[in-house]
Amino acid sequence: MHTTMPTQIFNRALKIAGFLALITALAIPAAQAATVKKTGVKKHSVTKTISKKSVSSRKSAQFVSGVKRKPVIRTIVAAKPSFGQIAGLHGAQDALDLKSSVALVIDQDTREVLFSKNDHAVLPIASLTKLMTGVIVSAAKLPMDEVITVTQDDVDTEKGSSSRLKVGTSLTRGQLLHLALMSSENRAAHALGRTYPGGLSTFVGLMNAKARSLGMKDTSYVEPTGLSSRNQSSAQDLATLVNAAHGDSMLRELTTSPGYQVAVGSRTLQYNNTNRLVKNPEWDIGLQKTGYISEAGQCLVMQTKIAGRKLIMVFLDSAGKLSRLGDAERVRRWVEANPVTDRKVNISASAKQVNG
């Protein structure tokens, strides 16, 4: 008698708990579905699918407690580390607290180094590659009004990136160069290299030959877009390239163009500059190029005038979409706040030395 009663009570409690668990299991998905429907935000990667019963229409909705619910499927993919992160370059501290693991700021006229951080590190350079692509195309003096058609060969098989220039699109060489330099259009850049006299291999060979002639010893190119992580360089080399490219008036104009329209069939496509600083009245930018692939991080090179001095800035492997622009702003404010000739900063310099 004394052993039977506790067992009965326990079994009854177990049944009640099971019933409550069933109610909870049905109520929680309904509440989640209501939240998703109301806010439009998918907060969890957990998916619970409710089996459809055989009904007259295959499109019959799924309902839980009267609330329409569709299965929510969300995949969370870990961010791929950049080469700089793998090498531990982000562990280097600097006086301006830059988010780029590599940075270099030099006076264009005197070659004085104002700021340096891991400036000899050799890393993937992403679409900064297109600056050399522009140098080669411009130097060749090819007809800019020659029509070039985008082909399947120009489609990105390296990263699978998209493009608004569909296969079969025909634009002039000048238009393609504008899109490649201003808005970093990959198919445009590839088409420029593919249609160069001698073909793509000749074009890439000229890119590397030009780098060597400029003294860019840390630089190598394997294609004209920057989609390949094997396109690599250092901040020192890139500063040399920016200086050389700045001497070309067409490259200055195209890289700093705020926006550009091209007619494609019956449509007009609007393209914008990938560097929003070109529209900022506080900046006087003579040449610029941005770049990004996961292996390279966010990259930026610029020629600009600050406090009466012409400067070349290089930022590589920056973490965060806007951080490269934030780093440029930090450097600009520092230069404006310290209008003296002796401004060289090392990564070991303290914030007090820089900002004081």
Phi-psi sector, 244: left (phi>0), alpha (psi -120 to 50), beta: alpha
- Calpha distance 127→206 (Å, rounded): 17
Catalytic residue, from 127, 183, 233, 234: name it.
Answer: 127
H or E element in which residue 238 lies: helix 235-246
Q: CA–CA separation, 332 vs 31, rounded Å?
A: 50
Q: Give φ, ψ of 69 to 5 degrees.
A: -145, 130
Residues in a beta bridge with 100: 318
Active site residue 130: yes
Structure tokens, 295: 């292996």
**Structure tokens that stand for 319 in this block:** 């973490």
d(CA 113, CA 314): 12
Give me the catalytic one of 184, 228, 234, 318.
Answer: 184
Determine which one of 99, 130, 210, 289 is catalytic: 130
Q: Report yes or no: 248 and 135 within 8 Å, Cβ to Cβ.
A: yes
- For 241, residues 6+ apart whose C-beta sits below 8 A from its C-beta are 131, 132, 135, 211, 214, 216, 219, 233, 301
Task: Write out the two tokens for 131.
Answer: 């600056």
Active-site annotation holds for 127: yes
Which residues are catalytically annotated? 127, 130, 184
